[in-house]
Amino acid sequence: MELKAARTDLNAKPKVISVEKVEADVEKEGQKIFYFDRENSHKDLMEMVEYFEEKGYSVYFREVRYGLDDNDYLYEVHILA
């Protein structure tokens, strides 16, 4: 499964990151916070959360709003080993 990481510039395209890369980063550091772009479907993000919970990780997922516009948000996922 591939997800889009949060943009670092408003005009840039989001970078694609695989769940395997996310898992490798979490295993390496023990915990990690990831930010995902609003272009990801909520369903795909929930599948990722379930994937990590089935492997025994604790996962905290939330939507972060950073502006007044309805499209000014991103997703934050904190994964703990």
Asked if pLDDT for residue 10 goes beyond 90, the answer is no
Q: Which two tokens stand for residue 4?
A: 């889009």
Residue 76 vs residues 23, 79: alpha-carbon distances, Å = 15, 10
Query: Which pLDDT tens digit goes with each residue over 12-62?
Result: 999 999 999 999 999 999 999 999 999 999 999 999 999 999 999 999 999
The pTM of this model reads 0.91
First to last CA, the chain: 20
